[in-house]
Amino acid sequence: MKETKIILSEKEIPTQWYNIQADLPKPLPPVIHPATGQPITPDDLAPLFPMALIEQEVSQERWIDIPEEVRDIYKLWRPTPLYRARRWEKALDTPAKIYYKWEGVSPPGSHKPNTAVAQAYYNKKEGQTRLATETGAGQWGSSLAFGCNLFDMECKVYMVRISYDQKPYRRIMMETWGAECVPSPSPDTQVGRDVLAQDPDSTGSLGMAISEAVEDAVTHEGTKYSLGSVLNHVLLHQTVIGLEAKKQLEVAGDYPDIIIGCIGGGSNFAGFFLPFARDKLEGTAPDLRIICTESTACPSLTRGLYRYDFGDTACTTPLLKMYTLGHNFIPAPIHAGGLRYHGMAPIICHLYDLGILEAVAYHQNEVFKAAVNFARAEGFLPAPEPAHAIKAVVDEALKCRESGEAKVIVLAFSGHGHFDLAAYDEYLAGRMQDYELPEEEIQEALKELPRVGG
Amino acid sequence: MKETKIILSEKEIPTQWYNIQADLPKPLPPVIHPATGQPITPDDLAPLFPMALIEQEVSQERWIDIPEEVRDIYKLWRPTPLYRARRWEKALDTPAKIYYKWEGVSPPGSHKPNTAVAQAYYNKKEGQTRLATETGAGQWGSSLAFGCNLFDMECKVYMVRISYDQKPYRRIMMETWGAECVPSPSPDTQVGRDVLAQDPDSTGSLGMAISEAVEDAVTHEGTKYSLGSVLNHVLLHQTVIGLEAKKQLEVAGDYPDIIIGCIGGGSNFAGFFLPFARDKLEGTAPDLRIICTESTACPSLTRGLYRYDFGDTACTTPLLKMYTLGHNFIPAPIHAGGLRYHGMAPIICHLYDLGILEAVAYHQNEVFKAAVNFARAEGFLPAPEPAHAIKAVVDEALKCRESGEAKVIVLAFSGHGHFDLAAYDEYLAGRMQDYELPEEEIQEALKELPRVGG
């Protein structure tokens, strides 16, 4: 009888994170200070992040040690299983060999705590007692609440008002782990009060929530800011996923032909593919395809521009060079809240620009169709975000059926959909809407890109 | 660095279920046909269950082979991890060694699919194409939907109306796995139509839903009935939990002093403790304590009578000898829906009567207090049912703190609370109600026990 899961022992949890910056053929474009137009310095970032994370952000070291305290917490759910999707292969009638790396076993239900725990650790070590962050649908906020709780730190989460009202479960999860979660805009910051004065019924936005969390961090003693995606150190922490997956595939005697994941800010899929991208950069896996999937409602890579832009709507962050739809772009209300970000991790954009990555965008009805078929074959209910990647796996597996090729396809399966069942309900009832994004709308949003760095 | 999880390989998934009936010092009381007052025969049960399950129900064989097809599906989530709860021990400042066996990693999120998959398999093998069942909060219905889907069988779930309306997520889960879920009372059965004619706004009850599912099974071609707890064959299938846990504790070099679980119908905890109860019956573990936890709102073992009673409110089932509060007893609306059953698995009742088990009942506020402390120490959010067992672990661990004893305490942790966060919200906001059950109410409910067998 064949194995379904490839399981590693706790001893095989990576002891180091992998830093792609050591292996890039040309370095990442610098992060720019919007006021000076010059590259930012560590001191510029010091009010927001602890020095250890700022160092990781710019480090050129290939391997960075994972602190034992962090590894010890990883053991609550890591190593995560790598599944061979035999039932799904059969359902698709494909000769392809499909694997998925399943991050949904963590307490918050996704890959997010891989970095939340590390960020809480470094902040605690440098004397912080409290972290402030923003969250959309709540996946990141609940993970940081989880991480802070384990290091006895306070955690304040500014949650986009519309999600706060519509999706109370993630908020309750945060409170159960001892965090404070308020709807954004909130009366707790000047930014929030200003918005509320103009529009007491504002439903908020991620950009607004970021501005509140940043203000909170710089105005409270012992408090720093924490971000759940996009930045280099966040992607670095997530490489435990890919390092484990690589070892697991070795155990299975396979190496991927295609790896597929979804990208919102990019941290989950980058965490998965970076150790494989290294092989491609070094020329040992020249034919490896790395496919990023996004939503047609927020197609940063497939339709955005590679330009310097702000990370938030209120223009309070440094400027990052990234594929962006413009910091004022407001995506349609798709269920994959984690894919509704105007920009993209600079590391992903750089590799995309170098031709290392492919990208494809999907509508949500085709995505949920694939997710339901996956759930019926493999049991687990995907979150709407990785459901986009599942759709791409289906497409590639069906191509294998036509060509007769037994390709090895590996899916980065970032989290469960237990708090997204209303989306499944909508899909099954035929009430789910697709959003065609007019070119004019993108052009309009791109008009306000800052004039920095080209 | 010490291990957090004890993980077995897929090869170590048990190949046989353990049947306690082979080792009982005196046999289980017979199941009685209500019309004749005589023990029921396999033929009496044939309209409801496939012959393989009827044979398992009365088998005296100690070991019963697990079909390879069932074991192969178990691999989607089994063997489940056994955790050493080091963070919880530290939070409780106890010298006790606490372990928990975590069944929440299954796709439906609890132990229930261990039997759902087996029941679907045997029904399919005997030519059935469809199963009918009832569900309260939806834990069981979603597990049977999951099981039927994997064997390409139809599944019809009668879900208690009040839960159907208040907790749509479990219903959507069932539908995602292809099952049909209707609120009970429904217009789909005579029983349902009769109730609706009298009271169109009836919120339903588990007893009523059982009656609908039974009627559905006997009136539809190719359809049998399926039950998620109470019966011997259900408990049998769940012994994979305890068999794995025993092996995992051996790996850890420990044997329990105390094992603790929650009991509603009793299938999860019995599945856990039966392989250990055998040691106690055989005299090799005379001091082992096995503690059953229940709700003060539905205290079958602690305040019920050991008598013959019906399994459902409408008196359509055979009579089982069990600790019961009477088949008309309606428990207060506690959040632990799985503990709101008037009776108890006959095997548990028999062992309790023999003095092998202890029982204790808790109020839900003290239970949720323990659950929140657990979640803050170990990360995972317990369902309200195992939260009752968590409260007992806390009590025993604190006794160890006082006595200085390093007892080994093992918790049967049956499922996650991702669909029960409203209950956490209620608790955290101080809005949770406890229910004192007046003795007169129990006496009233017990008045209608049938006059059979004692």
Q: Give the pLDDT confidence of A392-449 residue by residue, as tens digits.
A: 999 999 999 999 999 999 999 999 999 999 999 999 999 999 998 899 989 988 988 9
Q: What is the mean pLDDT of residues B416-436?
A: 95
Whether B68 maps to a domain, the answer reads: no
Is residue A176 within 8 angstroms of chain B, CB to CB?
yes
Query: What is the predicted pLDDT for the residue at A331?
Result: 87
- Tell which wins on pLDDT, A280 or B1: A280
Which region, left, alpha or beta, applies to residue B84 given φ > 0 means left and ψ of -120 to 50 means alpha? beta
Task: State the DSSP code for A416.
Answer: B
Query: What is the predicted pLDDT for the residue at B454?
Result: 45
Closest by CA to A407, choosing from A184, A94, A180, is: A94
Test A72 with B146 for CB contact under 8 angstroms. no
Q: What is the pLDDT of residues B24-56, one digit of tens each?
A: 999 999 999 999 999 999 999 999 999 999 999
Q: What is the mean pLDDT of residues B380-394?
A: 98
Confidence of residue A132 (pLDDT cuts 50, 70, 90): very high
Least confident range of A206-210, A246-250, A260-264? A206-210
Q: What is the pLDDT of residues A166-186, one digit of tens each?
A: 889 999 999 999 999 999 999
In this model, does residue B453 exceed pLDDT 70?
no
Q: Which chain B residues touch A424 with a CB distance below 8 Å? A: 172, 175-176
Test A105 with B105 for CB contact under 8 angstroms. yes
Test B419 with A418 for CB contact under 8 angstroms. yes
Q: Establish whether the linkage from the previous residue to A79 is cis, with ω within 30° of 0.
A: yes
Is residue B72 within 8 angstroms of chain A, CB to CB?
yes
In this model, does residue A87 exceed pLDDT 60?
yes
CB atoms within 10 A of CB B16: 14
Test B71 with A381 for CB contact under 8 angstroms. no
Do A297 and A418 fall within a single domain? yes
Whether A42 maps to a domain, the answer reads: no
Give the dihedral sign, CA B321/B326/B332/B337.
positive
Q: What percent of chain A has pLDDT over 90?
A: 89
Total count of domains within chain A? 2
Is residue A146 within 8 angstroms of chain B, CB to CB?
yes
Q: What is the mean pLDDT of residues A82-90?
A: 98
Query: What is the predicted pLDDT for the residue at A1?
Result: 56
Least confident range of A32-41, A397-406, B61-70? A32-41
Query: What is the predicted pLDDT for the residue at B313?
Result: 82
Q: Which chain A residues touch B425 with a CB distance below 8 Å? A: 168, 172, 175
Is residue A174 within 8 angstroms of chain B, CB to CB?
no
Query: Cα separation of A30 and A308, whole Å?
Result: 10
**Measuring CA to CA, how many Å separate A220 from each of A48, A123, A154, B175, B304?**
11, 14, 12, 48, 57
Do A204 and A343 fall within a single domain? no
Do B254 and B311 fall within a single domain? yes
Is residue B381 within 8 angstroms of chain A, CB to CB?
yes
Q: What is the mean pLDDT of residues A221-226?
A: 97
Q: What is the mean pLDDT of residues A383-388?
A: 97
Q: Which chain A residues touch B106 with a CB distance below 8 Å? A: 379
Instruction: Name the one residue in this structure whose structure tokens are 């997710």.
Output: A371
Whether A45 maps to a domain, the answer reads: no
Strands B223-225 and A5-6: unpaired
Whether B369 maps to a domain, the answer reads: yes
Do B176 and B139 fall within a single domain? yes
In this model, does residue A454 exceed pLDDT 70?
no
Is residue A320 within 8 angstroms of chain B, CB to CB?
no
In this model, does residue A192 exceed pLDDT 90?
yes
Q: What is the mean pLDDT of residues B335-362?
A: 96
Candidates A88, A172, A378, A425: best to mutate against B (most CBs of B within 10 A) is: A172
Whether B223 maps to a domain, the answer reads: yes
Whether A7 maps to a domain, the answer reads: no
Do A164 and A284 fall within a single domain? no
CB burial class (10 A; 0-12, 13-18, 19+) of residue A197?
exposed
Candidates B112, B172, B413, B427: best to mutate against A (most CBs of A within 10 A) is: B172
Whether A36 maps to a domain, the answer reads: no
Do B198 and B321 fall within a single domain? no
Q: Which chain A residues touch B424 with a CB distance below 8 Å? A: 172, 175-176
Query: What is the predicted pLDDT for the residue at A166?
Result: 84
Whether B304 maps to a domain, the answer reads: yes
Q: How far is A16 from chain B (nearest CA, A)?
A: 16
Test A107 with B380 for CB contact under 8 angstroms. yes
**Measuring CA to CA, how many Å separate A156 from each of A205, B230, B365?**
17, 45, 26
Is residue A429 within 8 angstroms of chain B, CB to CB?
no
Query: Cα separation of B155 and B147, whole Å?
Result: 9
* Bridge partners of residue A409, in order along the sequence: A98, A258
Least confident range of A57-71, A175-189, A204-218? A204-218
Q: Which of A201, A227, A253 is the last residue of a domain?
A: A227
Query: Cα separation of B260 and B98, whole Å?
Result: 11
Q: How far is B104 from chain A (nearest CA, A)?
A: 9
Give the dihedral sign, CA B249/B252/B258/B262.
negative
The residue ranges of DSSP E strands in B390-432, in sequence order, are 408-413
In this model, does residue B247 exceed pLDDT 70?
yes
In this model, does residue A314 exceed pLDDT 90?
no
Is residue A425 within 8 angstroms of chain B, CB to CB?
yes
Closest by CA to B132, choosing from B164, B162, B157, is: B157
List the single residue in A3, A77, A149 with the smallest CB-CB distance to B376: A149
Test A177 with B375 for CB contact under 8 angstroms. yes
Q: What is the mean pLDDT of residues B3-18?
A: 97
Q: What is the pLDDT of residues B188-239, one digit of tens each?
A: 999 999 999 999 999 888 888 999 999 999 999 999 999 999 999 999 999 9
Q: If you measure CA to CA, which chain A residue comes closest to B418? A: A418
Do B296 and B422 fall within a single domain? yes
- Contacts of B8 by beta carbon, 8 Å cutoff, 6+ apart: B79, B244, B247, B248, B251
Test B176 with A72 for CB contact under 8 angstroms. no
Query: What is the predicted pLDDT for the residue at A453?
Result: 53
Asked if residues A355 and A334 have their Cβ atoms less than 8 Å apart, the reply is: no
**Measuring CA to CA, how many Å separate B262 from each of A379, B24, B113, B338?**
26, 22, 17, 9
Do B88 and B128 fall within a single domain? no
Q: Which of A209, A227, A245 is the last residue of a domain?
A: A227
Distance from first CA to last CA of chain A, Å, rounded? 58
Query: Cα separation of A161 and B237, whole Å?
Result: 46
Do B89 and B237 fall within a single domain? yes
Do A95 and A222 fall within a single domain? no
Q: Which two tokens stand for residue A299?
A: 């197609």
Supply the range of the domain harboring residue B293.
Answer: 79-109+233-440
Do A183 and A241 fall within a single domain? no
CATH number for the domain harbouring residue B377: 3.40.50.1100
ipTM score assigned to the predicted complex:
0.96
Closest by CA to A224, choosing from A94, A371, A344, A121, is: A121
Is residue A76 within 8 angstroms of chain B, CB to CB?
yes
Asked if residues B45 and A348 have their Cβ atoms less than 8 Å apart, the reply is: no
Asked if residues B272 and B262 have their Cβ atoms less than 8 Å apart, the reply is: no
* Bridge partners of residue A158, in order along the sequence: A134, A182
Do B139 and B185 fall within a single domain? yes
Q: Which two tokens stand for residue B180?
A: 């049909």
Test A428 with B176 for CB contact under 8 angstroms. yes
Is residue A419 within 8 angstroms of chain B, CB to CB?
yes
Q: Which of B227, B259, B275 is the last residue of a domain?
A: B227
Query: Cα separation of A280 and B47, whole Å?
Result: 62
